Structure formats: C-alpha cells, structure tokens
Chains A and B, each alone.
Chain A
Amino acid sequence: MITTLFQLAWVFLKIGACSFGGGIVMIPMIEQEVVNNYAWLTKTEFIDAVTLGQITPGPVIISGTFIGYKACGILGAIVATASVILPSFIMICLATEMIKKFRENKILANFLRGARIAVIGMVFDAGVSIGRGSLVDTKTVLIAVASIICLFKYKLNPIWVLLGAGIVGLIWSG
C-alpha cells in the first residue's frame, strides 16, 4: 500500500509538472501511466473517470481524485490530488514574484512555445485513445461528432453538451 501511494505521488507529480496548457492535456499522460503502466484502472474505468471529472465542477484534474481512490482508497485520492496540484502551485507562486523577468526571458518563452505544441499533439492523442474505448457503435460515434460540432463550431459551454449526452444516454438505454 505504501508502495502504491509513492507510485501515485510520483505519477501525478510528473503529470502535474508536464501538463502545459490545461487539464485535458493531462488525459493521455494519465492514461498511459495508470492504465498501461500500473494497471490501477481498466480502460473503461479510466474513460468513466475522465467523464466524471468533466461533469463535476472545478478542474478536470479532479479525475486524479477518482483514480487515486480506485488505486488506494481515500488516502490514495488525497495523495493523487495533492501531487497533481503541487508542481503548478509552486511554480505559480515563484513566477508571480518574478513575472517581469519571466516574461522577458526569450529562451524560456521559446521552450514553452515548443512544449505547448507538443501538448496539442498529446491532446489529439487523448482524443484518439479515449475514442477507441468509448466509440463502440453508431450512436456513440454520432454523439461524438455532434459534440465536436456544438463545441468547435457553435462554442457551446461543455456542460450543456455533457448534459445533453447524458439525457440521450438515459433515453437510449431505456
């Protein structure tokens, strides 16, 4: 159990430190670690974890709480959540102090620019990866396409899209 806690802390610290650009970016990283490497969750459970993270208020990384809970109970949930927040917490506090210097450093700016593009690649990766698990028949594909159109073209608030998908799911599953 102690080993699992340390593994959880390590994985989520790593994820917290590498997720330039927001919560969704973390999804492929999390999946690779918790499903493929450590097998704390099955693929289906992982997709459900991400889904739950989306429908609760607050940031997406709250999926980490779910994963931590699945891996190691409440203690695991606390460790995972704290670890995923910690890196950005420290960096933000330090950067606030020296924001001027921070923004004028060209090397750092270029590094971050490159890193951000890498991160976009991984977001696509997350879409493909999650899609392989969740798009199992015509109706799920239809839902995914519809939500892309609503979000990308009409810029709807995600919460409405999720709510709609939930209602459709409720009707379809009878």
Chain B
Amino acid sequence: MTPTDKTTIDNEKLKEQAERLYLQGLHAFAGSANTSDVESMKRAAGLWQQSWKLYLKAGDTERAKDLKKSLAVLYKKEYVKANKNKKTHVSLAGKFKDWVMFFKIGCFGFGGPMAVFTLLEDELVRKKKILTNQDFLEGAVLGDVLPGPVTMDIVTYTGYKLKKWTGALIATLVFILPSFVLMIFLAMAYDKYSLTPKIAGVLQCLGAAVTGLILSVAMKLTKAEMKDYRELCILIWAFASSLIFKVDIVVIVGLCGLVGIVVYSNEPEERNK
C-alpha cells in the first residue's frame, strides 16, 4: 500500500465523517426552523463548523467553501432570530397560527377549568414558549375574579394575549364549537328519545350525581372563602333571598358586592386568592 493510497482512504473516511456531521447539523437546523429555537441553531452551527474543519483536513476545498457559505447564512439567521426574541415577546405571539389547538382542547376539555388551564399552559408556555408563566397566572386571576365560566375566561384571555381582539374571538369560538355542536345533537336526540324508561332512568341517576357535584363545589368554595362571621352572614342572606324570597340574581350579587365594599373598606390590604 503506497502512502498516497493511505491518505486517499483517510481522506475518504474524513469526508464521510464530515458528511455525517453536516447531516446532523442540517437535521438540527431543520428542527429549529419552525420552533424558532436558538438552542438547536447553535448546535447546528457547531456541527457544521466541525464538518468544515474535517473537509479542510481531507483536502476537499470545494465542499469546505460551500459549508462556509451555509454557515454564514446560519449565523446570520441565528443572529436575527436571537435579536427578535430579545426585542419583543409580542411579535412572536402575533405570529401564532395554531388555532386548531383550541379546537382540540375544546374537544377534550373535560374536568373543569383547571384541566383546560393545564392543557393550555403545557402547549403555550412549555412547548411553544409563546407566553410566560406570569401571563398565565394573571389569566387565572382574571378568570376567577370576572364573571363567566372560568374555562371560557382563560381561553379568551389566552386568545387576547396572542392576537388582541381577533385572537380572543377566534380562540373563544373555536373552543366552544365542539361542545356546541355536540350539544345541539344531544338536544335533538333528547327530544326524540327522552321518554324511553331506560334513558330516563340513566338521566335520573346522572341528575343525582350532578346534585352531588354542585353541592361539593359549593362546599369547596365555602371552605376557600369563609374567614369569619361576616362572610357567613352574607352567604346565608344570599342563599335565603334567592331560595325563599326569589329575589333577582342581579340584585343579590350587586347588593352583596356593595356590602363587600362597605364591610372590607377599613381592612388592611388583603389579597384575594
């Protein structure tokens, strides 16, 4: 075996290795393109750099030059992206397009607001990194404080954060759509079949479970909100006036709110949970 032969074989090996590194880098780069992940960009750059060195060593200058070019492009891109990330959070959120996600969550949103909250947080904060944890907690506070079902509130809030009014509208509509359609079908079926004794029996048992569900929610809320006798008084008054005297709900809620302003006005700053 002549020395030149040996170097050609070595060079072949080096090239092979270089090509593999290049492909790995390409893979990392392709993976990063749609998630705007700076981390994988950097990895791609590192791999290509190694590959470029190996090509130089192997004496394949043509290929090395090509790689150098793509490296330059990569660096430029990374630079631009890193800058964008630093500059505004909003610009990234503005590009959000995955509204189907809200549809999916609407389909599987069993188990109340906390379940939906966790699903959304997982998607937007952990996977896509579009919103921060802080954003999410604020959403939960708002949902708790403002009227309307908490699940709905959180979805609307997330949509608004992503794309202002349009985002809120799309997110809410897309989220409600699956349950809306399902409910229409159920209502139609109900009109037709509710009189069958079997279905009536099942519905009766479900109704009993729902009674339990409502009472347990009330008990949980009581446990969370009751601090002293004042709360108890308001609670009993609200309960009685609604059940016995059939006072209009708007009046009850409004009056209790006013009572709240008066009763808590001289209290030191106390945060609502």
A residues neighboring B (CB under 8 Å) = 14-24, 26-29, 32, 36, 47-48, 50-63, 65-66, 69-70, 74, 77, 81, 84-85, 87-89, 91-93, 95-96, 99, 102-103, 106-107, 109-131, 133-136, 139-141, 143-148, 150-152, 157-159, 161-162, 164-166, 168-170, 172-174
The segment out of B2-10, B43-51, B183-191 that lies at the interface is: B183-191
Q: Does B243 contact A (CB under 8 A)?
A: yes
Q: How far, in Å, is B144 (CB) from chain A's closest CB? A: 7
Residues of B within 8 A of A164 (CB): 209
A117→B217 contact, CB < 8 A? no
Question: What are 16 A-B pairs at a CB distance below 8 A?
Answer: A24-B214, A26-B149, A57-B182, A58-B106, A62-B176, A77-B180, A89-B169, A93-B165, A111-B261, A118-B257, A124-B215, A127-B214, A130-B207, A145-B212, A151-B217, A169-B201
Q: How far, in Å, is A75 (CB) from chain B's closest CB? A: 11
Docked complex Cα distance between A96 and B160 (Å)? 8
Contact with A along B230-271 (1 / 0, CB 8 A): 010011111110110010011011111111110111000100
Give the residue of A58, A122, A151 whose beta carbon is less than 8 angstroms from that of B213.
A151
Q: How far, in Å, is B103 (CB) from chain A's closest CB? A: 11
Docked complex Cα distance between A111 and B143 (Å)? 16
Give the residue of A14, A17, A88, A146 whose beta carbon is less than 8 angstroms from that of B156.
A88
Q: How far, in Å, is A27 (CB) from chain B's closest CB? A: 7
A162→B190 contact, CB < 8 A? no
B265→A48 contact, CB < 8 A? no
Residues of B within 8 A of A126 (CB): 214, 218
B residues neighboring A (CB under 8 Å) = 106-113, 115, 138, 141-153, 156-157, 160-161, 164-165, 168-169, 172, 175-176, 178-180, 182-184, 186-188, 190-191, 194, 197-198, 200-222, 225, 231, 234-240, 242-243, 246, 249-250, 252-261, 263-265, 269, 272
A169→B256 contact, CB < 8 A? no
B146→A20 contact, CB < 8 A? yes
Residues of A within 8 A of B164 (CB): 93
B250→A134 contact, CB < 8 A? no
Q: How far, in Å, is A102 (CB) from chain B's closest CB? A: 8
A62→B261 contact, CB < 8 A? no
Docked complex Cα distance between A61 and B179 (Å)? 10
A18→B249 contact, CB < 8 A? yes
A110→B203 contact, CB < 8 A? no
Residues of B within 8 A of A125 (CB): 239, 242-243
Most buried by A among B156, B255, B258: B156
In the complex where A61-B152, A77-B187, A166-B205 touch, is A115 in contact with B253 (Cβ < 8 A)? Answer: yes
Give the residue of B144, B202, B221, B265 whose beta carbon is less than 8 angstroms from that of A123.
B221
In the complex where A55-B206, A57-B106 touch, is A119 in contact with B146 (Cβ < 8 A)? Answer: no
A110→B264 contact, CB < 8 A? yes
Docked complex Cα distance between A45 and B161 (Å)? 39
Please name the residue on chain A nearest to B221 by beta carbon.
A120
A143→B220 contact, CB < 8 A? no
Give the residue of B165, B168, B202 whose beta carbon is less than 8 angstroms from that of A166.
B202
Docked complex Cα distance between A81 and B176 (Å)? 9
Docked complex Cα distance between A143 and B208 (Å)? 6
